[in-house]
Each structure stands twice: as structure tokens, then as C-alpha cells.
Amino acid sequence: MHLSRRGLLYGSAGVAAVSLAGCGESEASTQLTGFTGIAMPTTTSNRWVVEGADLEARLQGFGYRTILEYGDDDVEAQIGQIKSMIDGGVEFLIVGAIGNKSLGEILGRAKNQGVTVISYDRLILETPDVDYYASFDNYQVGVLQARHIIQRLGLEENPGPFNIELFSGSLDDNNSQYFFLGGLDTLESYIYEGKVNILSGETEQEPTSTERWDRKIARERMARLLEDHYEEEPLHAVLSPYDGISRGIVEALVDAGYEPGADDFPVVTGQDAEPLSLKHIKEGTGQSETVFKDTRLLAEVAANMVRSIVDGESPEVNDLGSYDNGFKFIPAYLLPPVDVTVENYQEVIVDSGYLTEEEIDGAAPDAD
Ligand code: GAL
């Protein structure tokens, strides 16, 4: 089996001869007002809904005008929205991209008008016209998910073998490969050792991918894998990159007769600390882990990038050499993701004010 290496994704810091000059500073002299267009990808995942509102509130709190649009997972719709924002005179764009390679032309137009572009959470590829990247350590997200599986199955101490299946996110989202490789690299030694088997043999990013991060697509793939490979064999864990996908996986497991809460229910990971997934974690009725990315901090980072440039300063970045978008290493501010289970959800999620117990308990079920 061929497993790709982290080094393929991550350039060495020494390569990062990134000049920050021209990244918006020159515009400060032209009396920027902070007018910002916020292009978010979707409302199907709770985090983006919260963040759109959060970004608006923060920027408006600085006295800046904002436009907020959601692209409904439709690449062309998002391009149209960005075009209207540029035509409307925005000076900044904060973009949570839908198609990571589809924005080159429209961002070229933005650049011609002197707009500063901040790639938000997901890196925009194959264009020179991205100025900054605000995100999380996406590789670490996958590491945390895999570590949860290692710990829950006791891979260190138990002889196994254990059966695991892998899921990855949307192929056109640059984050997917980071999550997937972080997970795969962490599980790799157990796979080589023969302690972990992947009976489907689907270990590459493409066959494990989930278009648009869609729960139903994940449910269908899980159902197929169970039917094809696990009629006789038990499944012990599923590496899932995102809560919506995790819930689709759990639905398929339940349909196939696995009982949530029972000792033989597979370990399922997740990401985004969505209320419904936290409810399952709390009640022991589905996935047992999620990775929390404090999106309040991400919104703060992005809003502060805008403010710094308006004030004529360079935005704060903490990474110059990890994220190559095909044209250049994008100066980035990366935040740390946090592993969340039933043991620490109160402290990390509730005590920090991200969600209340009532919001978790009262989380609406998925639509269908
Ligand atoms: C990714 C993002 C995840 C999750 C996923 C599905 O780009 O980093 O946190 O939200 O999209 O929306």
C-alpha cells in the first residue's frame, strides 16, 4: 500500500521566503474604510452559520461595513457573490471557498481593484491573488482523530487485529488532504504491523472522499462497505473527518444492526463540535469524539487581519512555510484544534461558552 507523506504537503520553513510587502500594506495609504465582503461556503454545517454572523459582528464593531453571503455549496453561486461584492466596492474579501481551484479568475479581478483577499479556513489554490490565510492546524485534526481510535481500541496494548475504515472529506476542499494524511500517518505503523486491517482496501483519498462533506453520501458508502466486507467480520472503528459525515456513518451502522452504546459499537471520530454530534457524544449514542476548532478565535484572527491593514500595519501571522497554494506560500495564522470526548466536553465546549448544555440536549435531529 502506498501512503503519501506529510512532507509532500508541508514545505520546510526555510523555503518560506515570503515577502509581506504588497500584502495589503500599501493600500493603507488610500484611506481604507474596512468595507469587507464575507463569502461563506454553506449553511448545512452549523459552524459556518455561526462564523458568518460572528465575522460581521466583529467587523461592524470596528465600524466597518460588511456584506455576508452563503454559496450553498455551489461553486458558480459563490463566484457570482464574490463578483457582486467586488462590484459593490469591497476593500477586503474573507472567503471560505467551495471549490479550492475555482476562484482564480474572480480573485484576479479582485486584485485589479486592490482588494485584499483572506482565505478563510480553507486554502484557495492556484492563484497568486491570495494575501493571507486564517485557519487551524489541519494536519493535527487528523492526528487527534486517529489518536482517539488508538486510545479507545487500546491499539498499543491489545494484540488485535482490528478492522477500521477510513473516510475523507470533499476532494475540492484543500483541508481534506490534511485531515486525511494526519489520520493516516498516525495509524500507519499499526497498519503495517498488521494490527489494523482495512478490509475494503480503500486507503487513498479519492475512494474514501465524501463530495461536499455530505452526510447522505457518507451513509451510502458506509452501508456499501458494511454489506461488502463486514457481514461476517466485525468493524471496530471508523476514521471520520467531520461530524456530518460521522452521523451518516452512524446511521448506516445502526441500519446494519450495530447498537449505539453497546460494547461492540465501532469507535467513530468527528470534527466541528456540532450540537447534535455533541449530544451523541454526551449520551453515548453515536460517535465518541469530535475535534473542536474554536471558530470564535478564527473569526477574531480574520477580523483582526482586516483591522491591521486598515490601520496601516502588517497582520499578525505565525506560519510562513506550511501552506503552498501552488503559486506561493501564503502567510498564515494557524490555531490549534482540540480533541473533545465525553470526558472534557463540559470544560471545552460548555464552560468556554461555545454552546450551552441546553443547546446540546435540544439539538435538532438531522432532516432526513
Ligand atoms: C472543512 C472545515 C471543517 C468542516 C468541513 C465541512 O473545510 O475545515 O471544519 O466544516 O469543511 O464543512
Cell triple for residue 263? 460494547
Q: Enter the pTM of the model.
A: 0.91
Same structural domain, 154 and 60: no
The answer to whether position 368 is within a domain reads no
Instruction: Tell the residue number behind the cell numbers 462590484, with chain if given.
Output: 87
Residue 95's CB: how many other CB atoms inside 10 A?
Answer: 27
**What pLDDT does residue 30 have?**
66
Same structural domain, 241 and 114: no
Pocket test for ligand 1, best of 40, 44, 45 (most atoms within 8 A of CB): 45
Nearest ligand 1 atom to the CA of 271 is 9
State whether the beta carbon of 272 lies less than 6 angstroms from ligand 1: yes
Task: Read off the pLDDT of residues 193-208 as tens digits, 9 standing for 90 and up.
Answer: 999 999 999 999 999 9
Same structural domain, 320 and 273: no
Backbone angles phi, psi at 38, to 5 degrees: -115, 110
Q: Are 102 and 75 in contact (CB under 8 A)?
A: yes
**What pLDDT does residue 45 have?**
87
Pocket test for ligand 1, best of 145, 175, 246 (most atoms within 8 A of CB): 175
State whether the beta carbon of 137 lies less than 6 angstroms from ligand 1: no
Task: Read off the pLDDT of residues 94-135 as tens digits, 9 standing for 90 and up.
Answer: 999 999 999 999 999 999 999 999 999 999 999 999 999 999
Q: Are 126 and 108 in contact (CB under 8 A)?
A: no
Calculate ∠ Cα 243-143-14, nearest 5°: 125
Residue 114's CB: how many other CB atoms inside 10 A?
Answer: 12
State the total domains in the chain.
2
Residue ID of nearest Cα to ligand 1 atom 12: 45
**How does DSSP assign 193-254, residue by residue?**
HTSEE-TT---SHHHH--GGG-HHHHHHHHHHHHHHH-SSS---EEE-SSHHHHHHHHHHHH
CATH number for 92: 3.40.50.2300
CA of 20 relative to ligand 1 center, distance in Å: 28
Same structural domain, 50 and 182: no
Same structural domain, 281 and 323: no
pLDDT higher than 80, residue 23: no
State whether the beta carbon of 45 lies less than 6 angstroms from ligand 1: yes
Q: Are 28 and 311 in contact (CB under 8 A)?
A: yes
Task: Read off the pLDDT of residues 247-299 as tens digits, 9 standing for 90 and up.
Answer: 999 999 999 999 999 999 999 999 999 999 999 999 999 999 999 999 999 99
